[in-house]
């Protein structure tokens, strides 16, 4: 007989443990919403999910990291600062920060997403991390949220300069296209599949060409676009 299939664990409900790891108090209702993935919200009859909080948290995170990098690297050009910021706030590094506070174990997922290992997906972890930032900002304001963010991502900022030089393919592609007078860089993204295994295909174009110069496939739009941009840079350098 084969091994019995292991059922996915339910989300942790001891939210005080998450608050302790995060380091700042968050309104309980906002916190629960920040932890609610759209797959769970849909199965629960269309309750509020964390996407609006993610949108807000992304903006707060961006300004906090930009401010820190601006002061930490006074001699760096704007393009270098942009790369360092992207290397800190993109999907993979944010997922690493989320794992350090065990955020995945608290996320409320739909059955399919949970069964497919959603708690370990970089896309879900990074999005929920941003939603947590949004909930903290609405509860406490900017300065406490800044403290929580910097505590969580300090390990990323230590090597922001070296990581940034190789990470932000979208910024690099814009610079390459500008150098070659190729026109504006744009992306077209298509998604397919159910929520628990959504796949996005991004194609990147420059306005001087009809055909795409790069393509990327990933479980999130941002990651797919970055992969497409990397392929675009290789194309222009080839």
Catalytic positions: 58, 130
* Per-position DSSP letters for 150-178, written without gaps between them: HHHHHHHHTTHHHHHHHH-HHHHHHHHHH
Q: What are the tokens at 62?
A: 């961006």
CA-closest candidate to residue 64, choices 170, 148, 166: 148
Q: Which residue, among 30, 58, 215, 216, has the nearest Cα to 149 in the 3D structure?
A: 58
Helix (H) or strand (E) holding 193: none
Question: How far apart, in whole angstroms, are the C-alpha atoms of residue 211 and residue 56?
Answer: 34
**CA geometry: angle 145, 150, 153, nearest 5 deg:** 125
- Look up residue 71 and give its two tokens: 């002061």
Helices and strands in the chain: count of H runs, count of E runs: 12, 3
- Residue 214 dihedral angles phi and psi, to the nearest 5°: -165, 155
């Amino acid at each position: 007989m084969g091994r019995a299939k292991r059922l996915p664990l339910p989300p942790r409900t001891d939210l005080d443990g998450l608050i302790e790891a995060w380091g700042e108090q968050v309104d309980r209702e906002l916190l629960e919403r920040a932890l609610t993935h759209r797959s769970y919200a849909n199965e629960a009859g269309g309750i509020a999910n964390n996407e609006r909080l993610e949108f807000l948290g992304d903006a707060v995170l961006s300004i906090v990291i930009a401010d820190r990098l601006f002061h930490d690297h006074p001699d760096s050009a704007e393009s270098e600062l942009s790369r360092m910021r992207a290397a800190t706030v993109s999907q993979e590094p944010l997922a690493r920060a989320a794992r350090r506070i065990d955020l995945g174990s608290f996320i409320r997922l739909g059955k399919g997403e949970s069964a497919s290992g959603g708690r370990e997906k970089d896309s879900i972890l990074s999005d929920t991390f941003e939603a947590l930032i949004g909930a903290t900002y609405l509860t406490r304001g900017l300065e406490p949220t800044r403290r929580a963010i910097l505590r969580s991502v300090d390990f990323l900022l230590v090597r922001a300069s070296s990581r940034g030089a190789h990470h932000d393919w979208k910024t690099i592609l814009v610079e390459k296209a500008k150098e070659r007078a190729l026109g504006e860089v744009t992306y077209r993204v298509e998604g397919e599949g159910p929520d628990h295994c959504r796949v996005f295909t991004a194609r990147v174009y420059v306005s001087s060409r009809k055909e795409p110069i790069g393509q990327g496939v990933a479980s999130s739009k941002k990651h797919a676009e970055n992969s497409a941009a990397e392929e675009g840079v290789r194309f222009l350098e080839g």
